[in-house]
Structure 1
């Protein structure tokens, strides 16, 4: 019987479990980084992993800003500090329900360490994406409304902004997860953050990102100060709803 604790490489149903499972189960968010540079060829491999991710309609309209220049990182550090402080003052002020307070305190300490040492970050990756303007003809709109029905068409009109954000995100985040797993596989520390969105205009200005592009994450990358280890997550039996909720 297969269990989530089956070690990588062991027999599962007569076949060896791929090492990817071991990678996924130990891919912690690593925020304490050494200042040592990460070779460009390794960063290129991370972006290659991201590019291999699925993209809606295979449009592949993603772009990745990779920052390694210490002067640029020093310019970004005050922005990072403002974003982190805003997060810790609001959303991140208290431990989520059910989370151990001590564990949350350790996470906050790591966030603060990363904030205070951001200028030493070896590399920062910013995934960007922008859908092209849709080409929808009147006949297509008629068939769209016919397929959904009047009530659902009206609902979609109300949530179009959310749908567009989800559609763009679905073209970016699979690649981001590939990048994070590739980093873990290469022994690099990385973590996904969204706090930069608090000051997205300032980040775009600092990095020369076109106004029409949307940014989806800020991912610090470097060699870890600590050790990788198993992630702590809810058990599968607790989160699965089979056939219906």
Structure 2
């Protein structure tokens, strides 16, 4: 696929088929993710690929235990009425949580803290968190774009970070690694669509913050 076509149609999916991903395609996706840039070329990512059905069910259980309280506290926040768009988004989130175990591949992404040479939670970590997390999220983005190019959908979520200890125990991950994200991966049950985004121009500055980039004028219809 053309790169701009890949990048302009969201790789994010919330409804998946349970059809397995061939090993060759999965390796191609992960090898592409491994090409991501990182601070000092530390390459501090570790991918745990989970295909075992029982483990996926346990990941779903952990996810559901977080999703409900998060939805109530961070999204609904006591409101009694929600916009139709919010209602639709919440329904989609509920369906995703309830069907997470059917997604055939769960890639759990961890950060190798020793490679970054910054103690978690330290003053240096808080001061320079951009370099730390900026050294792992590009790999996730490449993973999602590579998946999209092969017709595979993904749905990155950081929801499990509040269940880090349980997730690491489930997967046998050593203490020094930090849980960053879960990336469910599978063939989509819906068509890929262009994501809804605001125009870039109101947020595009020309040399200085106070100088807006001029918005292009659309050519007149012929």
Instruction: Verify same fold: TM over 0.5.
Output: yes
Match of 2:217 in 1: none
| Aligned with residue 122 of structure 1, among 101, 104, 126 | 104
Secondary structure (helix, strand or coil) at the match of 1:92 reads helix
Are residues 1:238 and 2:220 paired? no
> In 1, Cα distance between the equivalents of 2:30 and 2:23?
11
| Aligned with residue 200 of structure 1, among 164, 168, 172 | 164
Identify if the C-alpha distance between structure 1 residues 176 and 186 changes in structure 2 by more than 3 Å, giving closer, same or farther. same
| Aligned with residue 54 of structure 1, among 23, 37, 40 | 37
* Contact 1:81 1:116 (8 Å CA) reproduced: yes
Deviations 1:161-214, CA, capped at 9 Å, x for gaps:
323432221111111111111111111110110000111111111111111101
Match of 2:89 in 1: 107
| Aligned with residue 172 of structure 1, among 132, 136, 141 | 136
> In 2, Cα distance between the equivalents of 1:51 and 1:177?
11
* Contact 2:42 2:116 (8 Å CA) reproduced: no
Secondary structure (helix, strand or coil) at the match of 1:23 reads helix
Alignment of 1:200-239 (within 5 A): 200-239=164-203
Alignment of 1:18-57 (within 5 A): 19-57=2-40
| Aligned with residue 80 of structure 1, among 63, 82, 86 | 63
Secondary structure (helix, strand or coil) at the match of 2:74 reads coil
Deviation at 1:36, TM superposition (A): 1.4
Deviations 1:47-79, CA, capped at 9 Å, x for gaps:
111101002111223210010111111122210
Secondary structure (helix, strand or coil) at the match of 1:71 reads helix
Match of 1:97 in 2: none
Deviations 1:68-102, CA, capped at 9 Å, x for gaps:
111111122210111211221222326xxxxx933
Are residues 1:64 and 2:18 paired? no
Deviation at 1:128, TM superposition (A): 1.2
> In 2, Cα distance between the equivalents of 1:58 and 1:83?
34
TM-score, normalisation: structure 2 = 0.83
Could you list the structure 1 runs, at least 4 aligned residues long, displaced by more than 4 angstroms after superposition: 133-136
> In 2, Cα distance between the equivalents of 1:51 and 1:134?
17
Figure out how many residues of one structure are paired with residues of the other and give that number. 202
Identify if the C-alpha distance between structure 1 residues 86 and 40 changes in structure 2 by more than 3 Å, giving closer, same or farther. farther
Deviation at 1:133, TM superposition (A): 6.9
Larger radius of gyration: 1
